[in-house]
Amino acid sequence: MSRPRKSPAADPGNAVVVERQRQVLAPPPLYQVVMLNDDFTPMEFVVFVIQRYFAKDFETATQIMLKVHQHGRGVCGVFSKDVAATKVEQVMAAARQAGHPLQCVMEAV
């Protein structure tokens, strides 16, 4: 933001010098989208969702699905807050539409 400053060499009532102040912007906070395990959602559906909404290839999607299955949770990606929230909603809507209890959440990194 710039801040006006009066120049001492100029007529005090007519001149204004603007100094530029450097702004330091922090990067936006990131959020990871985490899929949670359940005993009812088919593994094939989980792989499909990961491929479709997180643009992962079949092998990567399968590895994430196995992590969800074996460890109870798996990170599908890291995004800005708005993108992560959208991904969570897309996954939850697809699961509801297919009749699966799949859960997906976002967590601050």
Burial class (CB in 10 A: 0-12, 13-18, 19+), 76: buried
- pLDDT confidence of residue 102: 97
Helix (H) or strand (E) holding 40, with range, is: none
pLDDT digits (tens, 9 = 90+) for 21-50: 888 899 999 999 999 999 999 999 999 999
- pLDDT confidence of residue 71: 98
Q: Residue 40: which of 69, 73, 71 has the closest Cα?
A: 69
- pLDDT confidence of residue 3: 57
Q: In which residue ranges of the chain is pLDDT below 70?
A: 1-13
> Alpha carbon of 103 to those of 23, 29, 37: distances in Å?
40, 23, 7
Helix (H) or strand (E) holding 86, with range, is: helix 81-98
Structure-token pair, residue 83: 């993108």
pTM summary value: 0.77
- pLDDT confidence of residue 19: 85
- pLDDT confidence of residue 70: 97
